[in-house]
Structure 1
């Protein structure tokens, strides 16, 4: 796959250098049937939380439309995170986006702005998306992504999410995925992977192949915050994005 000069510039901004005249290649696409063999985790049944969740007591989350879901998240008091947050972080992007990105938990900047992936990690994510011709800014569903987190509230001190917090927040994410109906899911970071694939396997063992969540192809990759700490893995993350793009391109070819 050959890249334009603009895409090469974005890759250089991500810290991935290309030799003059070189092309960027993606890892071989593994068909879903093959990906399902071996260690690939089983998909989660539609709407099923990891554990019984008080979230459903705030209304039938599984039947909510976008306005009702947004209001339910904003009013949520299901766990102690509601006491320390400044605001909830619902999600941004096209509500019928082809690409949906799932991150971990909001950090301090997300808590202040009410939007996922802001600050240095957000800028790196934007550069990664831009290199693929994608954006979080308004646009058609094939270009504008939808971005959401596993948790809608920031854990104090940016600590790791607790299992109980993830379980109580999960119905919101499940419903977001059901409403968006993405053609490809990109799970960024350990807790996003745990929430969607029900596995403690490290990302290094899960990336490079296609998983499935409720029938939707899912690709695992590193969180941008991790890539800022470990820039040597940026090239691996780029491979993951290229794999996701190949899956989407394959869907278009199959439907042609």
Structure 2
């Protein structure tokens, strides 16, 4: 394995929470230490502890890390209550950064809130941060973000004239898919986020954000290119265009033509509402 591959592997293990190396010498985890044998013989039996390396070679204990929250319906209900109490975007960001009810936060480096202009007429929502986004604390800054920037530029937009966020604020370890319950816990925050921004046009990037925000089980290939409606918790209706995620387009460049048609529709809608 070359150095780049080894670096990627080590990064994956670190993101997954593996923080201890293997010992140089094997340890017999079933062996009983001499002290434990003497205590057992004296009638003071204690639970057996696995034999480890000698004290001289043992590394210093790692500092305590926050315990992961067990995702459940109670956490989802708590998230709904907290998100509903946010009066503005600053409050929502602070509440999201303080929220400890989603276990994804314990392995992420950053809470990725949003980027762009919150006064913009158009808001785009993806699924979850990737590695680059987690490091920089901003959505869509990696390869897919660069493609998104080029697509936006082609219809006369940039980060100063759009607002961008994700359904999930924390990078799942190893870039795995968020679980349905993790997504449900994060739903109230992104729904309140959209409600506070109140864009004239909403764009859902990819299958997960489309299904969540439009409350549908229909796949993105059937949804894309067709205007739908996102209903906020307060009952407002926002015209919504589902389209393909830039990461998908990087893997399937032939489908860029489909996304281009969608963004031409988005440009026409913005012109019709007198925006951007």
Q: What TM-score results when the alignment is normalised by the length of structure 2?
A: 0.68
Q: Which residue of 2 aligns with 1:250?
A: 272
Give deviations 1:131-165, integer Å, cap 9, x for gaps.
111111x4xxxxx1000000000111111111111
Q: Which residue of 1 aligns with 2:145?
A: 122
Matches within 5 A, 1:82-161: 82-136=105-159, 138=160, 144-161=161-178
Give deviations 1:177-229, integer Å, cap 9, x for gaps.
11111111110011111111112211111112110112111001110000000
- 8 A contact 2:123–2:164 mirrored in 1: yes
Q: For the residues of structure 1 that align with 2:150 and 2:180, how far apart are their CA atoms?
A: 31
**Paired residue for 1:239, among 255, 258, 261?**
261
The structure whose RCO (Cα within 8 Å, separation 6+) is larger is 1
**Paired residue for 2:77, among 53, 62, 78?**
53
Give deviations 1:67-123, integer Å, cap 9, x for gaps.
111111112211111110111100111112101000011111111110001111010
Shift of 1:60: 5.1
Q: Which residue of 2 aligns with 1:45?
A: none
2:207 equivalent to 1:190: yes
Q: Which residue of 2 aligns with 1:81?
A: 104
What's the secondary structure of 2:240's corresponding residue?
strand
What's the secondary structure of 2:274's corresponding residue?
helix
- 8 A contact 1:95–1:179 mirrored in 2: no
Q: What TM-score results when the alignment is normalised by the length of structure 1?
A: 0.73
Q: For the residues of structure 2 that align with 1:228 and 1:76, how far apart are their CA atoms?
A: 33
Shift of 1:173: 0.7
Q: Which residue of 1 aligns with 2:250?
A: 228
* 5+ long unaligned stretches in structure 2: 1-72, 232-236
Seen in structure 2, the aligned counterparts of structure 1 residues 222 and 97 have a Cα distance that, compared at 3 Å, is same
What's the secondary structure of 1:228's corresponding residue?
helix
RMSD, aligned CA: 1.8
Equivalences, count: 197
Q: Which residue of 2 aligns with 1:199?
A: 216
Q: Which residue of 2 aligns with 1:170?
A: 187
Shift of 1:55: 1.1
Q: For the residues of structure 1 that align with 2:90 and 2:114, how far apart are their CA atoms?
A: 12
- 8 A contact 1:187–1:221 mirrored in 2: yes
Q: For the residues of structure 2 that align with 1:152 and 1:248, how far apart are their CA atoms?
A: 27
Shift of 1:252: 3.0
Structure number with bigger Rg: 2
What's the secondary structure of 2:165's corresponding residue?
strand
Q: For the residues of structure 2 that align with 1:96 and 1:171, how far apart are their CA atoms?
A: 21
- 8 A contact 2:123–2:199 mirrored in 1: yes
